[in-house]
Chain A
Amino acid sequence: MEKLLEVDRLTKIFYQGSLLSRIKIMAVDDVSFHIEPGEIFALAGESGCGKTTIAKIILDFEEATSGRIIYKGEDRESVKDDKVWFTEDVQAVFQDPFETFNPLRRVDRYFFEAAHNFELAKKRKEVVKLIEENLNAVGLSYDEFYGKYPSEFSGGQLQRVSVARSLLTDPKLLIADEPVSMVDASLRMSIVNLFKKLREQFGMSVLYITHDLATAYYVSDRIAIMFRGHIVEMGPVEQVLMEPKHPYTQLLKDSIPKADPNQRWSEDIELAELEQEEYQKKGCRFAGRCPQATELCKEEVPANAHVEGVLVKCHKYAGTGNTKLP
């Protein structure tokens, strides 16, 4: 299949500390993946693993240190002057809907503004009709939306309003950065189901960034697990989450609380002491906590191995299958 968006060897380096004791943090370290049309692709990992940085770079809020963002076969840097071309197609939904919207501004203003900026319709009537259609798509009506301020919505409703706004331009790709983490568990599924519906109805692709593996499993087709700037495992969600290969994915999966009092966690786990230190590690960054770590893991960054259609960045799988970079 043709690739809609391709992230090619993306690297982002942040520096921390003063001039004298500066440390380098590879927030995103040589990350490559792609998203196909009509696909929900999940990017999962704990906070501080670099997933939001990737979203920011794709959305051009942040500049990459190196690497390319290729959209529909064209390098985004080369068409940067034509901002509309990209933003019309790629829209975003953010974590906290109450921070997305200015609390002192009526929510419908954002819709009319977007319609104006993208020249979506000429007459006001047409704009209203367009807004109405998109609100209906997320399960809201124009009347219960018009003239209201953000504080008059509940979190779940406002997040759906935020999705409706992003739909105005008829995007091909929706970048959803932790869209459900601020929403109540009981309403979470309404947002996640919405993504499924949008994909089925409009063939939209979604980059679903989350730390919630259970919803990622429920909604996505493929998944990439990130750890401290690296993608450690990537492949079809069924394989990655049901038969995790990388020890970190296994730990993540085991740490999801099961809604079953008969299956409580029994083993104790080891937690990272300081994030910074893990970023500074010479070899595999998970080696400090990995139950299967060897001397090699502490010395050398593992290469990407391809095992049964899944990419794994672990020494355990070195030599099995094709270890070349794709």
Chain B
Amino acid sequence: MNETILRTEDLKAFYVLDVHGTEKVVKAVNDVNLDIRENEVYGIAGESGCGKTTLLKTLYAAMEPPLRLIDGKVYYRPYGEEVDVYSIGQEEKRRLRWEYISYVPQGSMSVLNPVIKVKETYRDFIVSHVGGKTKDEAFDIARSQIAELGLPSQVLDAYPHQLSGGMRQRVTIALSSLLEPRIIICDEPTTALDVVVQRGVVQLLRDIQEYLENTIVVVTHDMGVQANIADRVGIMYAGKFVEEGPVDDIFNRPRHPYTQYLINSLPKFGDKTPRESVPGSPPSLMDLPGGCPFNPRCPHAMDVCTEQMPSFTRLDARHKVACWLVGGEDGKTA
């Protein structure tokens, strides 16, 4: 396997809210250990409200109150050496951003300034992060990148409102890759887009990854998109990872009951057999059930599931699952 480029250690990030004088804690990222490698596409899947976006904010070190880092560490590996992101200063963090790690937030098609042309946004970006470029030089950089990625050159001269949502999304992704960062974090890049455009966005991400040979972390609840882009997939439920493995294992040999529901509920062409969605609804992150958070919805729940959270069991070198059905703590496979 390639070298680790982004790693977390027992990461906990909670929203600490003050509701009418009493403190409420939303456990959005609860004990996450990630090990993301160079030159891979890592997908994170799960229902809305399971903490995916919060995890990304924590990885990008872009936390704002009421979100707080409770415990754990996030490590980058910018120059061959691990750096604890939360121990470095603002200026250094700013330097790492865009050059080492860039973040495409959800709904990012609305981040382009509506009153200036796309090329002016490019120029702003180039001037503030590269510096020392004249207007024409900046436009040249923009033009050559747009051409390289196969986007129509007219977009540079358009205002954001003249472009469709999908085109705007592709422009923001292009912008995020301009400084050739080693890691690109994308939050739901294809949600709210049509299927055809969705495919265009996935294609663009894959092209960028192939060209830069960097790491892309993609959060999406759309399992179809995960299957098309990810090398490894992590399944998140109620702030925790419950299963992680190569994309092929996750889709063809899912072991956690939640993953099995996620995969089996997808409608397929040429198959009209009735499909079940996951019963019940996700738990409130303010009031998690005891033990494994999935136990109230799990058809196989046993006594131990309500008492204790299972730790990860390794099925093989890359596939691991946190479920009592698969051995749980002692590591034996059921």
Interface residues of A (CB under 8 A from B): 46-48, 154-157, 181, 184-190, 192-193, 211-215, 217-218, 241-242, 251-253, 255-265, 268-269, 271-275
Known contacts A258-B227, A274-B162; is-contact A189 B275 (Cβ 8 Å): yes
A265 touches B262 (CB 8 A): no
Q: Are B195 and A252 in contact (CB under 8 A)?
A: yes
Contact indicator per residue, chain B 300-328, by CB within 8 Å of chain A (1) or not (0): 00000000000000000000000000000
Cα distance A47–B191 in the bound complex, in angstroms: 13
Which B residues are CB-close (under 8 A) to A47?
Answer: 165, 194
How far is B262's CA from A268's CA once the two chains are assembled, in angstroms? 28
Q: Which residues of B contact A215 (CB under 8 A)?
A: 267
* Of B75-83, B92-100, B217-225, the one with at least 4 CB within 8 A of chain A: B217-225
Q: Are B262 and A186 in contact (CB under 8 A)?
A: yes
- Are B275 and A259 neighbours in the complex by a CB distance under 8 Å? no
Q: How far is the CA of A36 from the CA of B262 in the complex (A)?
A: 34
Interface-located stretch among B16-24, B120-128, B197-205: B197-205
Out of B48, B195, B221, B263, which one reaches A259, CB within 8 Å? B263
Q: How far is the CA of A218 from the CA of B225 in the complex (A)?
A: 19
- Kindly list chain A residues whose C-beta atoms are within 8 Å of the C-beta of B211: none
In the bound complex, do residue B199 and residue A214 qualify as a contact, i.e. CB atoms below 8 Å apart?
no
Most chain B Cβ neighbours within 10 Å, of A192, A242, A259: A259
Sample 6 A-B pairs with CB under 8 A, ordered by A number. A185-B223, A213-B195, A215-B267, A257-B225, A260-B251, A274-B163
A299 vs B141: C-alpha distance in the bound complex, in angstroms?
Answer: 39
**B278/A274 in contact, CB under 8 A:** no
Contacting pair A255 B164 (CB below 8 A): no
Q: In this assembly, does B105 line the interface, its C-beta being within 8 Å of a C-beta of chain A?
A: no
Q: Which of B196, B228, B269 contacts A242 (CB 8 A)?
A: B269
Chain A residues whose CB sits within 8 angstroms of the CB of B198 once the complex forms: 255, 257
Closest to B152 in A: A273
Q: CB of B266 within 8 A of chain A?
A: yes
Query: Could you list 5 further interchain pairs (A-B, Cβ under 8 angstroms) beyond the known A47-B194, A258-B224?
Result: A184-B221, A186-B277, A189-B275, A261-B251, A268-B150
Chain B residue nearest to A273 in the complex (CB): B152
Q: Measured between alpha carbons, how far is A272 from B196 in the docked complex, in Å?
A: 10
Task: Tell yes or no: B276 within 8 A of A by CB.
Answer: yes
Residues of A within 8 A of B227 (CB): 257-261, 263-264
Nearest-neighbour CB distance to chain A for B331, whole angstroms, equals 27
Task: Report yes or no: B154 in contact with A257, Cβ–Cβ below 8 A.
Answer: no
B166 contacts which chain A residues (CB < 8 A)? 271
- Across the interface, do B222 and A271 meet the contact criterion of CB distance under 8 Å? no
Tell me, in angstroms, the Cα distance from A278 to B152 when the chains sit together.
16
Q: How far is the CA of A241 from the CA of B154 in the complex (A)?
A: 35
| Cross-chain contact of A187 among B164, B252, B274, B277 (Cβ < 8 A) | B277
Indicate with 1 or 0, residue by residue over B29-63, a CB within 8 angstroms of chain A CB atoms.
Answer: 00000000000000000011100000000000000
